[in-house]
Structure 1
Amino acid sequence: MQIQLSPITTYQGHRWQVSLDRHCVSFRSEAEARAFIATLQARLQAPHHLPHERQSEAG
């Protein structure tokens, strides 16, 4: 997943945009955007355990 941070100007004023591949999320401040990125990266790097499939007994 590509994560990019860029400043943007909208009719609401100066904002910060985090792009996640093709999905974009806008924030009021750079600090909010960077906090979002930090949380997202921590979650992506966290260990993810997949449930084991139970094998049915054939007989």
Structure 2
Amino acid sequence: MHILVRPSAGAQGKRWQVCLDQFAVDFRNEQEARHFVSTLEARLRAPHALPRTEQPLTG
């Protein structure tokens, strides 16, 4: 996943965007945008357990 933090001038004044591939999320300032990216990257790096599949009962 490609993550880009960039300034964005819009109708509500200067804001910041975090672009995740082709999806953009707006933030009020650069600090909020970078905090979001930091949290997202930590969650992506965290270990994730795969769901266990149930084995059919025989008998």
**Normalising by structure 2, what TM-score?**
0.90
List 4+ stretches of structure 1 deviating above 6 A.
none
Matches for 1:5-24 after TM superposition, within 5 Å: 5-24=5-24
Residue matched to 1:57: 57
**Normalising by structure 1, what TM-score?**
0.90
Residue matched to 1:38: 38
Q: Which runs of 5+ in 2 are unaligned?
A: none
The alpha-carbon deviation at position 55 of structure 1 amounts to 1.4
User: Alpha carbon RMSD of aligned pairs, Å?
Assistant: 1.0
Identity over the aligned pairs, expressed in percent? 53
Q: Could you tell me how far apart the structure 1 residues matched to 2:43 and 2:4 are?
A: 17
2:35 aligned partner, one-letter code: A
Q: How many residues align?
A: 59
Q: 1:1-36: per-residue Cα shift (whole Å, max 9, x none)?
A: 111001011111101000011110000100000000
Q: Which runs of 5+ in 1 are unaligned?
A: none
